[in-house]
Structure 1
Amino acid sequence: MNFEQLKPEVDNIISKTELSVNNKLLAICKLLEKHIEYYNWVGFYFRNGDKEELVLGPYVGAPTDHTVIPFGKGICGQVAVSNQNFVVPDVAAQDNYIACSITVKAEIVIPIFVNGKNIGQIDIDSNTPDPFTKADERFLEFVCQKVAEIL
Structure 2
Amino acid sequence: MNTMLKRAAATQACMDRFAGRSYAPGVRDCGKLAAHSLHKLGRKAKLLTASRHTTEAGAVRYIRKAGFKDLVELMDAVLPGARIAPAAALPGDIIAMAMEDGDPFGCSLTVALDNGRILGFKDGVCQVLVPLAFVTAWRV
What TM-score comes out, normalization by structure 1 length? Answer: 0.37
Higher strand share: 1
What TM-score comes out, normalization by structure 2 length? Answer: 0.39
